[in-house]
Amino acid sequence: MLVRGTTVLPGVPCGEAREGEPPVHRLELRLPDQVPFAAGGFDAMGPMSRADYPHRHTFYEIVHVVEGSGVHVIDAERYDVRPPQLGVILPGQVHRWEGVRGLEGSLVLFTPEFLVGGVGDEDLLRRLGERPWVDLDGAAHERTSSLMEELAEEYRGGDDGFAGVLRSLLHVLLVRAARVPGGRPVAPPQGVAGEFLRIVAEVGSGGVSVRECAGRLGVSPGHLNEVVRGGTGRTPAALLREARVREAQRLLIATSLSVRQVAARVGFEDPAYFCRFFRREVGTSPGGFRKHHDRPVPSIEADAGGT
């Protein structure tokens, strides 16, 4: 399966991105098996796998880089390409490859639906997304290469029960990625705290309140605060603020939306209040943050007809 066959090319409507926002690439189902998963090398996935313009995914991407140079940009962070490395891009994040040369490696792409039934894999991925670009030592590189090759081979073969094998191999890959030196121990919160984090990932950037989250979970705000703090070390309010700031940063960097429009997209009716909020959380104004980072590229501006 090639990336050009699994994602939406710029200019092709897909109903995912709003005007002025980065293109959204989606993973299409492989017929007749309907397995929302793909694995293989950069070349096998096609030119979209090295996209140099800001874009989002509706799926997860794990990338194992074995050759090349340049920069991988994920949201507001820039990571030098110095193989061997392992990267994780979460649905909704804005990323691109910048100035890369000789980029080689392998990719694993899958939708959140593919993780149904996985033992804590979604929480594991969320934690891995907190350190999305890691260097691999020789042993970790060898293990990762072997797993990525097995995933691609199993995917290409499509033999009976291959979806279950893919899920098992993916789980091993995620667990081992969490063991890479320099990473933090991964212990995904369970129960109410885990459900709260899933709400934050889905709608946190839209201005949902702690009280609304508690209502959705059937608990009191006080109980939600207690279990989330115990499971994450952070308060629900702090995590919701982070989600709004993160989405605002993505839009400021990767789109031509005005500050007023960005404010509205992340749930602020008053642009002036949004600017005060942003400065308090980030330490600079929205305009200053945008100026400091990369400018939007013409291909995704509102008049370019993005996806």
pLDDT score, position 282: 85
The proportion of the chain whose per-residue pLDDT surpasses 70, expressed as a percent, equals: 81
Q: Which pLDDT score, from 0 to 100, does residue 158 have?
A: 84
What does the angle CA 168 – CA 151 – CA 5 come to, to the nearest 5 degrees?
A: 120
Spans of all domains in the chain: 3-178, 191-302
What's the confidence (pLDDT) of residue 84?
95
DSSP structure class, residue 294? P
Q: Which parts of the chain have pLDDT scores under 70?
A: 1-20, 28-34, 116-119, 182-189, 204, 293-307
CA–CA distances in Å: residue 242 to residues 35, 77, 186, 280 = 33, 15, 20, 12
- Please state which of the four CATH numbers 1.10.3720.10, 2.60.120.280, 3.40.1160.10, 3.90.930.12 is assigned to the domain occupying 3-178: 2.60.120.280
Cis peptide bond prior to 32, omega within 30° of 0 = yes
Query: Which helix (H) or strand (E) is 105 found in, with range?
Result: strand 94-110
CA 249/CA 244 separation, integer angstroms? 9
Q: What is the pTM of this model?
A: 0.67
Residue 40 pairs in a beta bridge with 107
pLDDT at res. 298: 35
Is the CATH number 1.10.10.60 carried by domain 191-302?
yes
165-213 tens-digit pLDDT: 999 999 999 999 988 875 444 455 678 888 888 888 777 677 788 999 9
* Confidence at residue 294, expressed as pLDDT on a 0 to 100 scale: 53
pLDDT, mean over the chain: 81
C-alpha 259/C-alpha 28 separation (Å) is 33
Would you mind telling me the total number of residues written for the chain in this entry?
Answer: 307
- pLDDT at site 251: 86
- CA-CA distance, 203 to 22, in Å (whole number)? 18
Q: What is the pLDDT of residue 116?
A: 65
Whole-angstrom distance, CA of residue 296 vs CA of residue 164:
41
Query: Which residues, at least 6 apart from 306, have a Cβ–Cβ distance to it below 8 Å?
Result: 10, 11, 17, 19, 20, 21, 22, 23, 299, 300
- Amino acid 151 reads L
